[in-house]
Amino acid sequence: MKNKKVRNITREVLSKNWYKLEKITFEYQQKNGNWQTQSRESYDRGNGAVIMLYNTSKNSVILVKQFRMPTYLNGNEDGFLIEACAGLLDKDNPDECIRKEVIEETGYRVEKVEKIFESYMSPGSVTEILHFFIGEYTENMKVANGGGLVEEQENIEVLELPFAKAIAMISSGEICDAKTIMLLQYLKLNQLLA
Q: How far is CA 28 from CA 1, 24, 147, in A?
A: 16, 12, 46
Separation of alpha carbons 97 and 26, rounded Å: 34
Main-chain dihedrals φ then ψ at residue 73, nearest 5 degrees: -65, -25
Where helices occur in 119-162 by DSSP H, the ranges are none
According to DSSP, the residues that pair with 60 across neighbouring strands are 55, 162
The pLDDT tens digits along the chain (194 residues) read 689 999 999 999 999 998 999 999 999 999 999 999 999 999 999 999 999 999 999 999 999 999 999 999 999 999 999 999 999 998 889 999 999 999 999 999 998 999 999 999 999 999 999 999 999 999 999 998 887 766 666 789 999 999 999 999 999 999 999 999 999 999 999 999 98
Closest CA to 66 of 131, 186, 152, 128: 152
pTM of the full predicted structure? 0.92
What domains appear along the chain, each with residue ranges and CATH number? 6-44 (no CATH), 48-189 (3.90.79.10)
Amino acid of residue 151 = E
